[in-house]
């Protein structure tokens, strides 16, 4: 089911730098700062003339049936009235090429240190956040700390709850999810991140992630850096009463094979993000900016029909 949260756009939205059928798909991993990031998109969409649509899955499922995969693939690629668009939702990656769609989306995502993500999840269940502080949470009234939970081997701090980022990038295959921590899923997740995603940022460097998107998809994300730094939604969602776990707690979690797989994947994503930043951005006047076009075309044949040589340079 698609929740129709859209922004108005005028007829002049098309330009050479912004294909009218551009589709960005953000299959957001929970507790990675995704609400803060989508808040930016909702603030920018009217100004930059694109639509933002939220995918709401039944029972918050992270995988779709085969029939729903087909419907979803057709929905986002053929719903041209809503293009250009950014679709977002808590959904595992799947390969749209298998469904015969006319155009593929640009995949983006954000990942987070696995223990930090688990800590945020643990306290969110108990105290919620400042985004919707009035909601009652599932563990409301349980004041047990993360340290106490790990000592008592509680359910909410079980390393099983860390097994999410790898499956999200691995996809819908059964082996992506079971057994938790398996190496096949880890390697498949790495391959998909490297080959199927346009950009994957890290929560700890959200500002740089936003800067990269503004540099590479400027028609959609123009003004995103200023909004992130100075807008009201730059840190939209903060979990209440989140406490840093003791070193002994962290060490206990790190002994888990699930943590080791998730940590290896996070490090892979982190390293890739650093390389893309270095290749794409430069620091100018204390701001990260696009390095500019670093190539041009030459030796163009045949020459123009009017007898004049083509101008050497950039398109």
Give the residue with greater pLDDT, 8 vs 298: 298
Mention every residue, 6+ apart, whose C-beta is less than 8 A from residue 99. 69, 70, 73, 74
CA end-to-end span of the chain, whole Å?
Answer: 42
Q: How many CA atoms lie within 13 A of 226 on its CB side?
A: 3
Q: Give the max Cα distance, the chain.
A: 83
Q: What share of the chain is helix, strand, coil (3-state, %, to 5)?
A: 45, 15, 40
CA angle 311, 312, 315 (to 5 degrees): 85
Percent of the chain at pLDDT exceeding 90? 72
CA neighbours within 13 Å on the CB side: how many for 312? Answer: 2
Q: What pTM was computed for the model?
A: 0.87
Rounded distance, CA 163 to CA 170, Å? 11
Tokens 């954000």, residue?
110
Do residues 186 and 171 touch, judged by C-beta distance below 8 A? Answer: no
| pLDDT score of 4 more than 50 | no
Beta bridge mates, 85: 23, 51
Lowest pLDDT segment from 10-14, 43-47, 151-155, 309-313: 10-14
| Residues 100-154: tens digit of each pLDDT | 998 999 999 999 999 999 999 898 887 766 555 555 545 555 688 999 999 999 9
Active site residue ranges: 88, 90
User: pLDDT tens-digit profile of 188-231?
Assistant: 999 999 999 999 999 999 999 999 999 999 999 999 999 998 87
């Amino acid at each position: 089911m698609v929740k129709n949260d859209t922004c108005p756009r005028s007829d002049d939205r098309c330009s050479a730098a912004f294909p009218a059928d551009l589709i960005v798909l953000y299959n957001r991993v929970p507790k990675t700062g995704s609400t803060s990031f989508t808040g930016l998109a909702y603030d920018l969409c009217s100004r930059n003339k694109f639509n933002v649509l939220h995918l709401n899955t039944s029972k918050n499922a992270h995988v779709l049936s085969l029939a729903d995969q087909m419907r979803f693939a057709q929905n986002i690629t053929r719903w041209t009235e809503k293009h250009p668009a950014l679709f977002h939702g808590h959904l595992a990656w799947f390969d749209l090429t298998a469904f015969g769609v006319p155009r593929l989306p640009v995949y983006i995502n954000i990942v987070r240190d696995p223990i930090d993500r688990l800590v945020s999840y643990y306290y969110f269940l108990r105290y919620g956040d400042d985004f919707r502080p009035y909601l009652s949470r599932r563990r409301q009234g349980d004041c047990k700390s993360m340290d106490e939970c790990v000592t008592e081997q509680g359910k909410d701090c079980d390393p099983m709850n860390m097994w999410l980022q790898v499956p999200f990038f691995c996809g819908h295959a059964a082996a992506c999810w079971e057994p938790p921590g398996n190496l096949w899923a880890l390697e498949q997740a790495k391959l998909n991140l490297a080959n199927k995603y346009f950009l994957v940022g890290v929560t700890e460097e959200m500002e740089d992630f936003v800067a990269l998107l503004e540099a590479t998809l400027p028609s959609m994300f123009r003004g995103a850096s200023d909004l992130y730094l100075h807008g009201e939604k730059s840190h939209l969602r903060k979990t209440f009463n989140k406490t840093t776990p003791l070193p002994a707690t962290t060490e206990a979690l790190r002994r888990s094979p699930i943590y080791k797989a998730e940590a290896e994947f996070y490090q892979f994503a982190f390293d890739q993000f650093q390389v893309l930043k270095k290749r794409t951005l430069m620091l100018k006047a204390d701001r990260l900016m696009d390095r500019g076009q670093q190539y041009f075309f030459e030796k163009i044949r045949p020459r123009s029909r009017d007898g004049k040589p083509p101008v050497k340079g950039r398109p």
